A and B are shown apart, each in its own frame.
Chain A
Amino acid sequence: MTTATMVMSRSPDHLVEEPDVTADAGPEARSASDVARDAAFEREALPWLDDVYRFALSLTREESDADDVVQETFLRAYRSWHTFIPGTDCRRWLFTICRNVFLRSRERQRPTVDLEDGEQDAVAASSVYSAARERGYDDIFARLDLAPALQEALDELAEPFRSAVILVDVEDMSYESAAEVMGVPIGTVRSRLFRGRRLLQEKLVTVAEDLGFQGAGAR
């Protein structure tokens, strides 16, 4: 089989993901390249394993699914290491792969949501606050341990709002980084984030009511 035939028999994915090894590179040259790649992968990518696992778990909500997503993420990262630009944010790059792996695994389950703009959600959030204030709940976040309810509300939040809240508010990413991870413009991150926050706040006010929380100064 000729070299040309061998190349044509490879799948597009294979061509994209394999490290760039030139046909005339000898065994020694290739080995040096592999050593350099592996050293860089160990130094740049492996330290983020715990972070990627935490992010995967927040997306999948199932440990076994998170395991699969993390393994696939790091295998893809390793095979595609030549596409990582040295000096850039490797955590962000890994999160991007991780989210893509997750979405692909859930492709048929992805909900279709109607996105409002950020302004509507910002104003709607103030209405939620106003309603909370009337019930004396304006200090619930300071006075009540809502972490379990908040975690549950976050778990129930639909994609893509959940990813926006997790990336920006939980993982402390900038809008710009979250936009890159989610593959959308910054304005879209903002509108998804604001919707997610507003939905969480609505849920928490409901939880406080269900718990019979007595506000400090019901008005």
Chain B
Amino acid sequence: MSAPARSQLEELGLSATCAEVLHHLWDYLDDQITPAGAERLRAHIAACKQCQQYEDYQECFLRAVSGLRQELGAPESLRERLAERLKGQGCSCWNKVRRGP
């Protein structure tokens, strides 16, 4: 761990195990760490109220970001233009770009 990172954690008054959660919670929530590492974090979080609250906070944040995904469709005007340009390229499926009735 780098000196500035260690210093920040000391300021927050956190233990080394809590520090591991802080460092790797996003990796954990993103399913990017080994099963053994994930199990270790899971066990610690289950037993540590502070880390549980931090996990809740980050999970809520990631859900909020994920919720920004809109089911936007490509506008009809874009489909028309793209269909014409694909037709110009000799693409036989150009008409499939348009939405069906």
List residues of chain A with CB under 8 Å of any chain B CB.
34-35, 38-39, 41-42, 46, 49-50, 52-54, 57, 63, 67, 70-71, 74-75, 78-79, 119-120, 122-127, 129-130, 132-133, 138-139, 141-142, 146-147, 150-151, 154, 165, 168-172, 175, 190, 193-194, 197, 200-201, 204
Q: Which of B22, B25, B53, B82 has its CB near the most chain A CB atoms (within 10 A)? A: B82
Contact of B54 (CB < 8 Å), options: A46, A126, A142, A197: A126
Q: List the A side residues contacting B54 at CB < 8 Å.
A: 126, 129
Tell me whether chain A's interface is mostly helix, strand or loop, or mixed: helix
Q: List the B side residues contacting A200 at CB < 8 Å.
A: 61, 65
Are the C-beta atoms of B86 and A42 separated by less than 8 Å?
A: no
Size of the B side of the interface (Cβ < 8 Å), in residues, is 50
Given A57-B72, A119-B2, the answer on whether A34 and B61 have CB atoms closer than 8 Å is no
> How many A-B contacts are there with CB distance less than 8 Å?
133
Are the C-beta atoms of A38 and B22 separated by less than 8 Å?
A: no
Query: In chain B, residues 72-91, which have Cβ atoms closer than 8 Å to a Cβ of chain A?
Result: 72-75, 77-79, 81-82, 85-86, 89-91
Contact of B89 (CB < 8 Å), options: A75, A129, A139: A75
Are the C-beta atoms of A78 and B26 separated by less than 8 Å?
A: no
Tell me whether chain B's interface is mostly helix, strand or loop, or mixed: helix
